Structure formats: C-alpha cells, structure tokens
Structure 1
Amino acid sequence: MKNTLRSQPAWWSLALLLVSLLSGCQKEADDIDPDPTTSTSENETVNNWILENMRDYYYWNDKIPSNPDLTLNPSDFFDSLLYTYDATTRPDGDRFSWIEENADDLTASLSGESTTTGMEFMLYLRSQGSTNVIAQVLYVLPDSPAEKAGFKRGDIISKVNGQTITTSNYVSLLYSGATNYSFGLAEVQNNSLVDTDRTISVTATVLQANPIFIDSIYTVGSKTVGYLMYNQFVPAPNNSNGSEYDDQVDAIFSNFKAKGVNELILDLRYNPGGYTSSSANLASLIGKNIDNSKVYFREEWNATLTPYIRQEYGEEFFVQRFLNKSQNIGSNLSRVFVLTTDGTASSSELIINGLRPYMTVTTIGTTTYGKNVGSITIVDDTGEIKWGMQPIVFKSFNSLGQSDYSGGFAPNVEVEEPLELQPLGDVSETLLNEALYQITGSRLGRRGVSAGNELPALGSSIQRKAGGGRMIKRLSTFKTVKL
C-alpha cells in the first residue's frame, strides 16, 4: 500500500500518488544531523533533485527562492525552499512540509509501522512556571512492549533512565531513537503530582499498529449507539497492497447495521490522519443519502501542474467521490458525533468537513489541529538518492467549496480530558460520557472527573511521528508528461 511518487530528471511522473495531510509537529530539522563526511558534490546532487521536484510539485512553487544555496545539507536546503508560515507576515504559509534522510523509514511510518514501545503520551509542564515535565500515557497498543510491561492509560511518567524530565532534556530522553527505557512514575495524590518509587522498564521494537482501537455498541432506551475509536487512516499493514484494515472497518459497520445502530460516535481524538482512500471508505460508511456520484472533497494544486493534469486526466483527477458501500448506515442516522482534540488532524478533519454538507456533524472535545493542505511522498526511483520528502502540493475543499479550518474546528461541545484519565471505551470516560449524554439526555454510569487539565501542554508523541497527520491518496497510474 506504500505507493510513492518516483521522480526522473526533467520529467514528472505520478505513479500511484501518496497524497498526505501532515501534522503540525513534523520531525524538526535538528532530528536529522548532517553527516560531516558528506561532500559538497553529494549535497548538490541531492539538492538538485529536491529543487527540481519542489519547482514542479510544491503548492507555493512560485515562492521558491530563485538562487538557493545548493551546498547546504539537504535538510537545511529543503527548509530554505519553503514558504514558511508566520502568523503575522505569512498566515497562509507552510507549516507541514518535511524531509527524511531514509525514504524506507518514511514510507513504513506512513503505514503505521515504527520502532516503538507501543504507547502514546501527552507532555505537560509539571506546574505553571515549572521547567519539569511529565508524560501522561494516552493509550497503549495491544500486545506491545509497553502493555506487556504493565503500562496503562493514565499512567504518568516523570523520569526516564533515572533523569527527571525537563524542558531542556525531554526531546533527548524521549525522542532519541533509543530502544531501552526505564520509566519512573508519578501519581496524583490529593490533587498534587507526587513521584513514586515505581519504575517500569521497556524495550522498543518494530511494531505494526492496527488503526482500529475500539468498537462497541451501547443500548439506551430507543438509542442503539455505535462507537468506533480509530487512530489512523491506514488501509493495510506496511508492505501490503491489500485492504485488510479497511475490510475490518467494513465488518464493524456491517455489524452496526445488523444490530440497528441509529446513533454513531466516531472517536478521532488521537487520529492525526492517513490515506484518503481509507478516509473516503469510512465517510462512505457513515454519510446520509450519498453514493459514488456525490463529492467527498476536491483538491487545488499549483498553477504549474494544474493545466497539465487537467489536460491529461480531466477534472475528475481533483475530485474524491464517495463510494457505494453496502455496509453504509447513513439511512439510520441523522447526525454523527466526532470526539476531537488538537491531535485530530488531516484526514480526520477531512471527515468532519466532508460529511458536513450531507448531515449534522457534532464535535465534542477540544479544537482540532487545523490542516486543510496536503502533500505527496517523493522518492528517487533510481535508488541513488536515499532521501524522501513530503512537500505540500494541494489544498482541500468539501463539496460546498469550504476549506476554512486552518485554525482547526472548534468543538460544538467543549470538554477537556482530565489529568486522571478513565479507560477508553468506558461509559464513564469524559468525552465518551459527554457524547452519550448528548445523544440520550442521561448519563451512563458514573461520570469521570470533569475538571479539565490545566497544566500547560508541550505536545504529544502522536504529533512527533514521521509526518504526524497526513492524508495519503491512492490514484490510478499516470502517464509521463513533460513540463
């Protein structure tokens, strides 16, 4: 499923595009250290390849400097080409393009495979004004090293390998690429964070994450509520050309349909994005009065490529339509509830934006990230250049021409996750509990702690994944067209 864009000198060819909406916390340039032994000529070879492709595909290709410094390290050179976002001078600028030194690692991560302990966490300052940091575990993957070691949602990490986590060392402690960790834990006692003597040792391993985390059905009176927690839009495992994960989603909705589900909660709070094919598949299982004649979203590419694409492939190139799905439950729905946080990005926001013209979409949680632009994965088909890059190449619009969520979707019902987290899928869990209340008018079970987490946030491990949020689109093979 990891189809990539392969480039050739002076020609562009699109062979099964990977089109992705990226997250706001892509790997920073300092994550890729320049090799001091790399020669200037090697840099220039890579940089010429970068420049050629950026001039062809980059959404802001008319903003690329006319005479960039080809002697720079490739990661620095790539950054020098970007029309970088600035809240004051470039509010329409690029927040998401990035480059990786190893293209194979890049494409693996886009399919949910990575070297990981198997847990995702949110980082907070320990208190207002403090330089100490804690990592709150958001969820733990089944059968992962973290789960086997005893980690669970809500655990609070305050030390790594005996060192207190601080604002100056959390990157090196948590994101260094190490495989062996000893985590020291803290806990909430009398509304205060207290370090404990408890430590958990974990060894990271290569792990393929299934994006389907939880599916459940809750019955309350006349309401049969389907719940799906879906953490990445990935159709199949890495190195598969199939649709195993999409098929599992289809099976879940087939069960929802058979059980008479008439309300739906879609939990995308930790979903940073993924393949547009999977996004369209999911939307097509939910949408009301939709079929393959209805537009899910449209794309706007740069002025250089657009006329060539239109001439060769027609206007349909820019359009993603819904699919005809026998498992669709839209006829039983008048609305859908989507659980969100600032980790909800890209293809997750596409679901919200794409379904709104067809049904009521009620968001519950906190404001989403705000990613209405997309990129493609570009690698060198000759194998001589090992780098892979993700330049932004398009902007997305729903069927009504709406794309006004670069600042994120503010929630219809604002609810923050507390510091003391309840298990996901439990009716007492804060966001799920609120969604069930909005649907039924009554609380199921005892509601979890309702007070929001007031600690200043520093980001999450989900955002730090390669590319973070992304929207990856599978298209038919393109002919070669000379620019």
Structure 2
Amino acid sequence: MSKYFPLCFLGLSLLFNSCSNDDNIIPDNVLEEPVEQPAGATAEDYPAQNFMWQAMNIFYFWQQDVANLSDSKFTGPTDPAYIEFLASKENPASFFFEDLCNNHVDAVGEANAVDRFSAVVENYQDLLNSLQGISRSNGLEFNLYLNENGFNVYGVVTYIMPDSNASEQDISRGELFNGVDGQDLTVNNYVDLLFGENASYTLNMADIIDQSIVSNNKTVSLTKIENFSENPILVNKIIEQNGIKIGYLMYNGFLAAYDEDLNDVFGTFKSENIDELILDFRYNPGGRVSSAIQIASSVYGTNTDEVFIRPRFNDKLQSQFGVPDNFTDVTFDSETPLNTLELSRVYVITTDNSASASELVINGLEPYVDVVQVGTTTTGKNEFSNTFVDDPENSFLYDPDRIDQINPNNSWAIQPLLGRNENADGFSDYTTGLVPDHILGEDIENLGVLGDENEPLLQLTLSVISGSTAKFSPSQPFPADLLTHSKMFEPGKNNMFMDGLLKPL
C-alpha cells in the first residue's frame, strides 16, 4: 500500500472554486493516560480520531511540520501502529490538540504556540449554528478584565443584541459587573459561571470608584435563549458633517445569512451618495470569507478580474489549488447584483477584538484603497479554516446536502487552519495584528453610545475625516487589563471560514 494511504485509500480528489466563502469552544485540556487497545481493534473503533487524522493529514497547513501527520508515519488504515495511535487518547479533543496540531495554544500555552486557532467541537451542529450567528445566548456581549490583584475578574458590557433577553433587562453598554449569583468572579470560576451549562444567572453589578471596581446593590437576571440569531448589522446610519455625507456601519460578524441585508445597507449608502464610509469592526471576530469579499467589493468595486486574496495552502495542495479569489459583483449564495460605492478611501475602526475576516477586509483592500485605520491593534489572525465532519466520501468537507451521509456514530467536527490569505501585493504577515494610523483605546469609564457622534472612537474618526484631529483631546483611559471577551466562547471564535471554497469531485 502506498505510504500516502489517506489520499489513495479514500480516492480524494479536490477542486477549489475561485469564489470562496465562510469564517471554538475552549476545551478542558486534560492530560490522559494511554488507552489500552482492545484485541482485534480496527480504525473504525475510533471514528473521531480516525476521521481527524485523515482530514488533518491532507488539509492541515502545518501537516509537514507535525511528525504524527507524516505521509510515511503509517502504512495504511490497518497498520497496528496506526490503530494504536488512534487509541492513545480516549478524549478526541485531547487527541486533536496534543497529537495532531502544531503546538496548539491549548496544549502548549500562549508563549510556545504556533497554532492559536484550530478548533474542535463534539457536536458539529453547534459549530454550524455558530457560523450562522445562531447560539444559546442571552444577547449580552462583554469584555472581561483582570482586577489589579491579577485574580479577580470584572466585566464591562460592550453591546446588547436587539430582541434578546438582555435587551429587555435594565442593563446597558458601559455597565460593569464583578459577580454572578452572589459569587465574586475570579480567574478560576468565570468560565463556569458565565459560559457554563446554566441557562440563567444573575449578574452582580459594580461601579468604578476611586480607580477601583466596587460592588453596588444592583443585580440583573439574564436567561439564555436556545437558537438565538444575532444580526451582525448592529448600527447603520448616515452622518452629515460640514456638508460631507458619511456612511457608518457597525458590523459584528461576517455571517452569510445576512449578506442580503448587508447589500441593502450599501444600497442605501449608494442612493444617498455618501462621500465617505466608516466600517466599525471593533467587536467583529471574523466569519465567512465570502462575506468579507462582498463587503470589500461593495467598498471598492465589482472588479471581478482583480485579485482580492490569494490563499496559501500546505505543499500538498498549493500548486494545484492555490487559486486567487477576486472581487465579486454578486452576493455569494443568492447571486444578487452587488451595490458598490467605488470609493478610493475607507475608514475602519478596530480593537484587539477585531480578527480574521475583519483583518482580511483591511489587508485585501490595502493595494486598491486608502484604508485609514482608527482604534487599537487587531488580533493578528491571518489564517483561514474549513469545517470538516466524518463524511469520507465527500473528502470530510461539510455539505448541508449530505447530512445523512455523516457517520451517525461520530458527531465530532474540526475546524483546522488550512492556510493564510495574501493580498494582491503578496502580504499576509500580520500575526502581531494590524496597527492603526490613529491610535485610541476604548475607555471603560467613557464607552459612549455606539453610532453616536460623541462616542470617542467614532468622534476621533470623524475628526480625521474633517481634518480637525488637533482639536480632539480624549481623556486618560481607565487602566484596564483585558483578559478575554464573550465571543471567544462561541464555537466559531476568531476564525476565517472557507466553507464552500473546497469542492470534492
């Protein structure tokens, strides 16, 4: 049998479309004792591990750097050494992070990590829902910060989703909390209290007094709604300033389900003949690449012969399948004609919560448009991924029309990093983030109202447009030590999804 048994055994033959589309639950990383392999075991006895290895051997960006994924590691699916390897860990998540990924952050820690974003989930439906903005949610989004003692944790509300449970409660952007159900939040308990199985909890609110986080007597009870859908278009409006019409769009996730709504927003901007455009990506962790191509095309133009991005895969796939993705003139799924502004300049608001597809829009537009970035440095997520499930006849690629072909004995899904996207100039090296032209961090003591002209980051952007930045004097921000944010606990966190780009023959 060929040493390249995954390709030969499965007969995998791939075709990449030139039109791309879609952008993780943090698992408990528990070291396990080796699992004793039962007599007569086969690869089918370890369906999750078996599917993970085969998909990773073909598609993983760092396949050649991981000894366990080497094409010559095993002779075939019946190789006793292969079956022993599959049986080495009972928990598929541990197997994925520790044995298949290239120094994954959940296995080796932030300081030694190479792979920071590959994901695995036990139920593929949770991941698929996340890609459409559907989750079990109370609609409250927030940042979490470390207190000055480095142990206690407090949260600051960043925004509230319309029509959610939180939207019906007495809570608003900029409010603080430091406890849940009467327990102080700490680095040891915040995950269980805020992101655990409990559908309902009560926040214990707090204030900033004399530069300290101090509890107050206010409580807010919240309930997570099953299958809640977030519309990523949080604010869109037109601001008139000194005779200049400025379109403002706060967009919080690249979700294909809302591509038509997004196109309608640009249709309004176009009909109003806006002069300038502000894209607010400050809380946007990423999403589908096709939606990023759409929004970039709506900004720059429907120039379908010009390269927006060039994907870079592993050495197995690059020469055959590294096909550039150009700008588009239609929405990806419904092929609705695209509304485009044909601007020569765009302003983008970012923070360290801005990741992957958000960064892709900035980097992809840079060769064509003057991108003026305002805020703080982005996450630095320049890799893309794809959803894989246990459907070997479809090259393990998730296809909504093949649900009944997925192995009923294995619901695990993986979202491994497949490569990096370069812009038309060949640039993709922004793992430390994209640095703003005009730097200003959010002040948790003065977050302001999103979309309001006096909100600090929007106010600074408007002053850049008007040329009056010399008159802009922000206050000294509260010294906040960011720990994480609520979107990091969704299955599709900080990812750039290419679902639909890869097509099996």
- TM-score relative to the length of structure 2: 0.82
Counterparts of residues 44-443 of structure 1 (less than 5 Å): 44-66=46-68, 69-71=85-87, 72=89, 73-79=91-97, 80-84=99-103, 93-126=114-147, 128-206=148-226, 207-236=228-257, 245-287=258-300, 291-307=303-319, 309-310=320-321, 318-324=323-329, 327-330=339-342, 333-380=343-390, 381-420=406-445, 421-442=447-468
Instruction: Name the amino acid aligned to 1:174.
Output: L
Query: CA separation in 1, counterparts of 2:474 and 2:207?
Result: 15
The answer to whether the 8 A contact 1:19-1:375 is kept is no
Do the aligned partners of 1:125 and 1:134 also contact (CA within 8 Å) in 2? yes
Residue aligned with 2:411, SS: coil
Matches within 5 A, 1:438-457: 438-442=464-468, 450-457=475-482
Gap change, CA 1:281 and 1:89, over 3 Å in 2: closer
* Match among 494, 501, 504 for residue 469 of structure 1: 494
Instruction: Tell me the CA shift for residue 136 of structure 1.
Output: 0.5
- The question of whether the paired residues in 2 share the 8 Å contact of 1:429 and 1:447 is answered with no
Report the Cα offset of residue 208 of structure 1. 0.5
- 1:212-243 Cα distance to aligned partner (Å, 9 max, x none): 1100111112311100000000111xxxxxxx
Between the aligned partners of 1:9 and 1:157, the Cα distance in structure 2 is 55
**CA deviation after TM superposition for structure 1 residue 11, in Å:** 3.4
Deviation for aligned residue 1:355: 0.4
Q: 1:4 maps to which residue?
A: none
Aligned Cα root-mean-square deviation (Å): 3.1
TM-score between the two structures when normalised by the length of structure 1 = 0.85
Q: Report Cα offsets for 1:149-187 as digits up to 9, x if no partner.
A: 222111111110110111221112112131010111002
1:192 Cα deviation from its structure 2 partner: 3.8
Q: Alpha carbons of 1:335 and 1:188: their partners in 2 closer, same or farther (altered >3 Å)?
A: same
Q: Amino acid of the residue matched to residue 132 of structure 2? A: S
Cα offset for 1:124?
0.8
Residue-pair matches, total: 448
Whole-Å separation in 2 of the counterparts to 1:169 and 1:77: 26
Superposed displacement of residue 478, structure 1:
3.1
Q: Percent identity?
A: 34
Between the aligned partners of 2:62 and 2:414, the Cα distance in structure 1 is 15
Pairwise CA distance, 1:100: 0.6
- Is the 1:246–1:278 contact (alpha carbons within 8 Å) kept by the matching residues of 2? yes
Answer whether contact 2:296 2:327 (CA < 8 A) is retained: yes
The answer to which structure, 1 or 2, has the higher relative contact order (CA under 8 A, 6+ apart) is 1
Contact kept, 8 Å, 2:22 with 2:290, in 1: the verdict is no
CA distance in 1, matches of 2:489, 2:31: 17
Corresponding position of 2:77: none
Provide the secondary structure at the position in 2 that maps to 1:439: helix
